[in-house]
Amino acid sequence: MKLFKTTKGILLQKDKDIYILQGEWDALINRKNLFSFLSEKIKSSERMDENSFDMLIGTQLQAPIGKQEVWAAGVTYLRSRDARMEESKTSGGADFYDKVYAAERPELFFKALPHRVAAHNGEVYIRKDSNWNVPEPELTLYINSVGEIQGYTIGNDMSSRSIEGENPLYLPQAKVYEKSAALGPCLFVPKDPIAKDTVISISIKRNGKEMFNDSIQINRIKRSFNELAAFLFRECDFADGCFLMTGTGMVPPNDFTLQPGDQVDITIDGIGTLSNRVGEKKP
Ligand code: DO4
Ligand code: MG
């Protein structure tokens, strides 16, 4: 099932059927066995026709987030480790990426508060003080307040490679700024954990021309999703649950940087496509 958060309320899509759910987003999603709860809830929920659904999704869609913090895991795929070792060669920081890939403790960092998160079809920003910017397509977990993964969405962990490459201690500036994250288009709530052969793919277009595309199966990740969630919940409480981006397995070639106007489309099997135009913070 898929949950869509709109300015007009919460919509649930189950195969071809659409339901309007009563209730508030955070209270609705933060529970044990969300799939079973939603399966019961639709029995007493009003239906919506496909045209009204398409109209609401086209004009009123929000990111599938309420009050949750967004966290991110890093260097969970070999491709990310290698790209970061390369970009930090001259700063002397390369060893840190190699070590964290192999270490028991994963890299976890705070990514965004909800107001910095772009929705599907919204703008993501690149920093004006960075000359090397990339999107990071990442399967993103929704974890309830007791640490259990209840759903999935598509995440874009926008990153400045020049700032992080200059010095790994600049990571928060490379990663955290206005509209440096996107989530959407929906929260996917499957009966069972997401399939290990799920494919995540990215396409970047400039003036309609494709500049980069790539794809990877999520089973290429070094760590399990439960392991990442468990580390995050070790010493943090999340009253409304939280979102955790699980790291990128795709990095454009070193001569590529995003420009304002670029179109970034990230697709994950079973969830959909998260589309964002690249912009910059207004002065
Ligand atoms: O080590 C810095 C961040 C890594 C990251 O965001 C990723 O691997 O996706
Ligand atoms: Mg990332």
Pocket around ligand 1 at a 6 A CB cut-off: 72, 74-76, 80, 84, 107, 136, 157, 171, 247-248
Query: Can you tell me the distance from the alpha carbon of 164 to that of 181, in angstroms, rounded to the nearest whole number?
Result: 16
For residue 137, cis peptide bond before it (omega within 30 degrees of 0): no
Percent of the chain with pLDDT over 90: 100
Residue 160 Cα to ligand 2 midpoint, Å, equals: 11
pLDDT of residue 124: 98
> Model confidence at 77, in pLDDT bands (50, 70, 90)?
very high
Q: Which residue's CA is the closest to the ligand 1 atom numbered 9?
A: 247
Pick the atom of ligand 1 nearest to 159's CA.
6
- Which stretch of DSSP H or E encloses residue 213? strand 209-217
Closest CA to 148 of 224, 226, 73: 226
Q: What is the dihedral of CA 21, 71, 226, 236, to 10 degrees?
A: -100
Query: Can you tell me the distance from the alpha carbon of 95 to that of 81, in angstroms, rounded to the nearest whole number?
Result: 10
Cβ–Cβ < 8 Å for 57, 202 = no
Cβ–Cβ < 8 Å for 18, 47 = yes
* Mean model confidence pLDDT for the chain: 97
Residue 30 Cα to ligand 2 midpoint, Å, equals: 25
pTM of model > 0.95 = yes
Q: Count CA within 13 A, CB hemisphere, residue 49.
A: 2
pLDDT of residue 231: 98
Pick the atom of ligand 1 nearest to 97's CA.
1
